[in-house]
Amino acid sequence: MRRTTTALLLTVLAAVLLTGLPRATPAAAHDATSTAYAEITGTADRPEARLDLEYDLLMKSAWLYAEAYQARERDEQLRQLAKHADAVGAYVTGHFGLARGERACTARPVGDAGLRSRGGRAFAVVTLGYTCPAGTDEPVTVTSALFPDAESFVHSTRTIVHYDVGGRRGSQVLTPAAAAVALTGADPAATTHQVGDFFVLGTEHLLFGLDHILFLLSLLLGARSLRDIVLTASTFTAAHSVTFLLAACGVVDVPAGLVEPVIAASIAVVALANVLLRDRDRNARWRLPTVFVFGLVHGLGFAGSLGIDESWSWELLLSLLSFNVGIEVVQLGIIAVVFPLLALLRRVPAHRWALPALTAPIVLVSCYWVWDRVTQAA
């Protein structure tokens, strides 16, 4: 009976550990989703939109040749963007637009396309200026159909919109099911929509970010009691919340090429320490300081995924807090599911070899991610 129980617990835990492996590395192929970023500023008559779009996906969607979307060197990517400026501009203006009332705003390119890095990936920066109908009090409406499912490159693309237009400020998330939104500022309905959207983004980021989940599971594997996991989870939450808010507000700026490998390495360090130090008094001494330091790094990763690049405001703070609450809800859910299973596993004689057996795949996967992310950043 005990062997059956142990086998069942190991099967469930292994499934939790390994499900979704391909989603965790930033270098994974475009077999899932993409996020576009739009920052809209200016007046309601003449707004300006700066769009950050994944470079290779943009070049594919504009139906350019492989030499364009397979370019990896920054100088070559910039050359390809300049060479195909008309095709890129036609795609972007055809899939992203502003309107005022029933009339569309007229778009025009502003300057040359640039490049920036987000989460270890190259993003093209395309800026469009708009001329909107004047003489009306109606708000500007933004519509995004960037990288739709029909193109088959990705699915469920989201466009995160941050805006400060004509005194109306806020953040919204556009999805294929809700592809348009009026930039109405402090309207209660818009505020509710903003809170809900960023809460969902936070839950999905942790659910589909296997590196953060494996780090949390490594912490759970080393916990000895409910008090232990409460202290550890609280330390991790406090640490990543600090750097998440600072990085998202632009106070701290650490390159993703450094953050992502360290996040992967943190998983291996904590997982190995659980095994090597589990019978020593030093276990309690290293855990909280180590978790706090690595939590700071994970907070930078959370901020990088959200992609906010604007000055501090109450609207920004609302988005950040909603996103962070979403992360914490999923974190608590994982703890509620996994910790009781581990507590049951520790009651059977086989737990001394079972926990190292669960640790081994975590270490192997995280070491692979370290190598993969370092080579991608090089």
Lowest mean pLDDT among 108-117, 169-178, 247-256: 247-256
pTM over 0.95: no
Q: Distance (Å, rounded) from C-alpha 172 to C-alpha 17?
A: 33
The CA-to-CA distance between both ends of the chain, in Å, stands at: 52
pLDDT for residue 9 is more than 50: no
- pLDDT tens digits along 15-71: 544 444 444 444 333 346 788 999 999 999 999 999 999 999 999 999 988 899 899
C-beta separation of 100 from 44 below 8 A: yes
Confidence of residue 85 (pLDDT cuts 50, 70, 90): very high
| pLDDT over 60 (residue 277) | yes
By percentage, how much of the chain surpasses pLDDT 90? 30
Domains identified in the chain, total number = 2
204 inside domain: no
In order of 31, 57, 145, 157, the CA distances from 149 in angstroms are: 11, 13, 9, 8
Residue 203: inside a domain = no
Interhelix angle 282-306/314-345, rounded to 10 degrees, is 140
Residue 200 in domain:
no
Domain assignment present for residue 109? The answer is: yes
Whether 357 shows a pLDDT value over 80: the answer reads: yes
Q: Which domain holds residue 322?
A: 2-24+209-377
Same domain, 13 and 124: no
Q: How confident is the model at residue 126 (pLDDT cuts 50, 70, 90)?
A: very high
366 and 313: one domain?
A: yes
The confidence score (pLDDT) of residue 187 equals 57
Question: What distance in Å separates the CA atoms of residue 219 and residue 339, rounded to the nearest whole number?
Answer: 10
Mean pLDDT of 324-344: 88
Name the token pair of 292: 């706090």
What is 135-201 written as a DSSP string?
A: S--PPEEEEE--S-GGGSS-SS-EEEEEEEETTEEEEEEEBTTB-EEE--TT-HHHHHHHHHHHHHH
Alpha helices in the chain (DSSP H): 2-18, 55-61, 66-69, 74-83, 85-95, 188-208, 210-222, 226-248, 256-276, 282-306, 314-345, 351-377
Res. 251 pLDDT band, cuts 50 70 90 = confident
**Alpha carbons 96 and 144: distance in angstroms, whole number:** 5
Share of the chain above pLDDT 70, in %: 83
User: Residues 119-140: what's their mean pLDDT?
Assistant: 88
Residue 15 sits in the same domain as residue 98: no
**What's the token pair of residue 309?**
């690049």
Q: What residues are paired with 107 via a beta bridge? A: 130
Instruction: Note whether 142 and 215 are same-domain residues.
Output: no
Pair 8, 57 in one domain: no
192 versus 42: the higher-pLDDT residue is: 42
143 belongs to a structural domain: yes
Give me the mean pLDDT over the 149-169 stretch.
Answer: 87
Do residues 87 and 235 both lie within one domain? no
SS3 307: coil
Judgement on whether residues 225 and 148 belong to the same structural domain of the protein: no
Residue 336 lies in a domain: yes
Residues 63, 135 within the same domain: yes
Tokens found for residue 11: 């099967």
> Does the structure show a pLDDT above 90 at 189?
no
Contact 40, 49 (CB under 8 A): yes
145 and 121 part of one domain: yes
Higher pLDDT, 187 or 79: 79
From CA 32, how far away is CA 121, in angstroms rounded?
Answer: 15
Mean pLDDT of 140-151: 93
**To the nearest whole number, what is the mean pLDDT of the chain?**
82
Checking if the pLDDT of 256 tops 60, the result is yes
Of 152, 185, 218, which closes a domain?
185
Max mean pLDDT among 57-61, 166-170, 194-198, 280-284 falls in 57-61
Write the CB contacts of 367 (distance below 8 Å, at least 6 apart in sequence): 264, 268
Q: Are residues 287 and 317 in the same domain?
A: yes
Q: Which has the closest alpha carbon to 32: 217, 207, 214, 244?
A: 207
Q: Is residue 194 part of a domain?
A: no
Domain boundary among 123, 153, 185: 185
Query: Would you say residue 10 has pLDDT above 80?
Result: no
Is residue 278 located within the same domain as residue 362? Answer: yes
Domain boundary among the residues 145, 169, 185 is at: 185
| Cα dist from 177 to 140, 157, 171, 301, 371, whole Å | 20, 10, 17, 27, 38
Q: How confident is the model at residue 93 (pLDDT cuts 50, 70, 90)?
A: very high
Instruction: Print the SS3 string covering 211-228.
Output: HHHHHHHHHHHHCCCHHH
Are 108 and 240 members of one domain?
Answer: no
Residue at 120 is within a domain: yes
- Among the listed residues 284, 270, 292, 41, the one whose alpha carbon sits nearest the alpha carbon of residue 167: 41
- Residue 278: pLDDT above 80? no
Look at residue 339 in the predicted model and tell me its pLDDT. Answer: 86
Instruction: Determine the Cα–Cα distance for residues 86 and 137; give it in Å rounded to an integer.
Output: 33
